[in-house]
């Protein structure tokens, strides 16, 4: 024979494993508890007529205790899957608990409402919170840091960049990179100018045979003015870029040549008179 009062007397006064006390209140950690508090009418153990609403894997069920089977704890609880439609679910609850305690019916409906709210909020949270916390291993971080430092030393960035840029510049402007003694070049240039003047004086017919030195100015050549060595001043000029006729990307390994772009520069051909 199952006496609720007897059970309550025992577990309330001596020991209940589900009970947890704080300074202000007593809580019940039993999963079937309707309110979560440790009370005479909330206690699932001490009430043979008892019902709850619980969520299992996203589905909400109405659990009811069957008084006739109170002596068989494993088979004591019956459950009903509540309808997805709110009104029909409430109807189900009211139908199943029709002759039950008013208090239990109201508390069950209240708990059902709360469970729905919780579900809604957790679904919204999953959608909005995108930051996933990823654990870092200190050892791994330290190791990566060390290896990065060593790789940086090995990279020799400034040298590598300079080399690569010189390669590209050489491919684009090969005449700039002729290995010529500059002083001698200047001298020879002056000599040519002097001789040109002399030729002009002497005979024009001879000149026709020789190929003339042509200076062809294709376009307003900004770069000729920029012999000034201040880099920063140059950036102010901000030339307008022509529509992107893009050069094919070249992934440089040492020795890969860049494709020469279409030139728009002055073409200067200097003829040396051989004496």
Partner 1 sequence: AQTKTMPNKNKSAVNASNSGPPRPDSNDNKKQKTNKKPKKDDASSIVGLKQRLSSIRNKQRRQAAYQQVRQAERKAKEAAVKLRRRNGADNGAAGPAKEPHTLESLRLPDATMTGPAGDAEVDAEEAADEFADILDAAGAGGEGQARLPRLLVTHADEVGRRTAAFCRCLARTVPNAVFCRRRRLPLGRVLAAAKAKEFTAVMIIGEHDKKPCTALLTHLPAGPTFAFRLSSVRLPRELPRPPEDDKPETVAPQVLCNRFHTRLGRRVARGLAAIFPGASGVRRHARVVTFHNQRDYVFFRHHRYILRQPGSGAKPGAKPRCALQEVGPRFTLKLRSLQTGPLGAGGGYEWLHKRHEMDQSRRRFFL
Q: By CB under 8 A, name the one of 15, 98, 248, 275 that touches partner 1.
A: 248
Q: By CB under 8 A, name the one of 17, 22, 232, 274 that touches partner 1.
A: 232
Here the tokens at position 223 are 């770069």
* CB contact at 8 A, 101 and 49: yes
* CB contact at 8 A, 116 and 86: yes
Is 234 a binder of partner 1 (CB under 8 A)? yes
* CB contact at 8 A, 221 and 266: yes
Is 12 a binder of partner 1 (CB under 8 A)? no
Site string for partner 1, 177-216 (x = CB under 8 A): x-x-xxx--x------------------------------
Q: By CB under 8 A, name the one of 151, 209, 211, 275 that touches partner 1.
A: 151
Q: Give the list of residues 6+ apart from residue 188 with CB closer than 8 angstroms, or none.
A: 270, 272
For residue 24, report the phi and psi dihedrals to the nearest 5 degrees: -100, -25
| Shortest Å distance, C-beta 98 to partner 1 | 46
Q: By CB under 8 A, name the one of 10, 59, 67, 169 that touches partner 1.
A: 169
Residue 67 or 152: the one with the smaller Cβ distance to partner 1 is 152
| Shortest Å distance, C-beta 236 to partner 1 | 7
Is 254 a binder of partner 1 (CB under 8 A)? yes
Q: By CB under 8 A, name the one of 71, 136, 201, 208 that touches partner 1.
A: 136
| Shortest Å distance, C-beta 225 to partner 1 | 12
Give the long-range contacts of residues 214-219, CB within 8 A, separation 24 or more. 214/267, 214/269, 215/266, 215/267, 215/268, 216/266, 216/267, 217/266, 218/264, 218/265, 218/266, 218/267, 219/264
Residue 80 or 171: the one with the smaller Cβ distance to partner 1 is 171
Q: By CB under 8 A, name the one of 88, 114, 147, 267 that touches partner 1.
A: 147
- The continuous run of DSSP H or E covering 80 comes out as strand 77-81
Residue 162 or 200: the one with the smaller Cβ distance to partner 1 is 162
Here the tokens at position 91 are 């109807």
User: From CA 55, how far away is CA 122, in angstroms rounded?
Assistant: 13
Q: By CB under 8 A, name the one of 12, 69, 173, 196 that touches partner 1.
A: 173
- CA 4 to chain CA centroid, nearest Å: 59
Q: By CB under 8 A, name the one of 155, 191, 266, 270 that touches partner 1.
A: 155
Is 223 a binder of partner 1 (CB under 8 A)? yes
Here the tokens at position 172 are 């684009």
* CB contact at 8 A, 108 and 52: yes
User: From CA 89, how far away is CA 109, in angstroms rounded?
Assistant: 9
Q: By the criterion CB under 8 A, which residues form the site for partner 1?
A: 127-128, 130-131, 136, 140, 144-145, 147-148, 150-152, 154-155, 157-158, 160-162, 164-166, 168-169, 171-173, 176-177, 179, 181-183, 186, 223, 226, 229, 231-232, 234-236, 238-249, 251-256, 258, 261-263
């Amino acid at each position: 024979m199952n006496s609720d009062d007897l059970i309550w007397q025992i577990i309330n006064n001596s020991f209940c494993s589900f009970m947890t006390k704080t300074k202000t209140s007593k809580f019940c950690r039993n999963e079937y508890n309707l309110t979560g508090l440790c009370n005479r009418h909330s206690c699932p153990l001490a009430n043979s007529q008892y019902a709850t609403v619980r969520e299992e894997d996203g589905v909400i069920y109405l659990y009811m205790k069957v008084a006739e089977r109170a002596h068989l704890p494993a088979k004591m609880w019956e459950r009903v899957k509540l309808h997805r439609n709110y009104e029909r679910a409430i109807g189900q609850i009211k139908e199943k608990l029709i002759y039950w305690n008013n208090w239990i019916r109201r508390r069950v409906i209240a708990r059902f409402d709360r469970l729905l709210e919780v579900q809604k909020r957790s679904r919204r949270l999953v959608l909005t919170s995108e930051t996933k916390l990823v654990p870092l291993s200190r050892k791994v971080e330290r190791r990566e840091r060390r290896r990065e430092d060593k790789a940086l030393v090995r990279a020799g960035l400034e040298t590598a960049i300079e080399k690569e840029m010189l390669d590209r510049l050489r491919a684009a402007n090969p005449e700039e990179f002729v290995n010529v003694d500059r002083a001698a070049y200047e001298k020879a240039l002056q000599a040519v100018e002097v001789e040109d003047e002399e030729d002009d004086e002497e005979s024009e017919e001879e000149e026709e045979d020789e190929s003339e030195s042509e200076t062809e100015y294709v376009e307003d050549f900004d770069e000729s003015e920029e012999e000034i060595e201040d880099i920063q001043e140059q950036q102010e000029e901000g030339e307008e870029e022509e529509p992107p006729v893009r050069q094919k990307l070249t992934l440089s390994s040492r020795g890969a040549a860049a494709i020469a772009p279409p030139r728009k520069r002055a073409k200067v051909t200097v003829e040396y008179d051989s004496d």
